[in-house]
Amino acid sequence: MPTAPVDHQLDLTTQDVLTYGSWGLTLVLLGYAVHLGRKERTPFYALIVLAAMVAAFAEPLYDEGLE
């Protein structure tokens, strides 16, 4: 039966690629949310994306807590 790979170092290159990629996609989504918000005259879409960006800072705490 396979076991979880918890006893080795994290591949930092892959972690960087995934982190920058996800933030890049988030910025694209934020731009689209601002565009859609202007079209519909509401800040709701941008606020949802900004809330997700703030919540993303808690992700490393979750990773560290499970080690």
Above 80 in pLDDT, residue 4? no
- pTM surpassing 0.75? no
Helix H or strand E encompassing 40: helix 12-40
Q: Please state the rounded mean pLDDT for residues 2-26.
A: 77
Q: Please state the rounded mean pLDDT for residues 12-34.
A: 87
If we measure between CA atoms, which residue out of 18, 28, 25, 29 comes closest to residue 59? 18
pLDDT recorded at residue 58:
72
For residues 2 and 24, give the distance between their C-alpha atoms in angstroms, rounded to a whole number. Answer: 34
Query: pLDDT tens, 25-61?
Result: 888 999 999 999 999 999 999 999 999 888 877 776 6
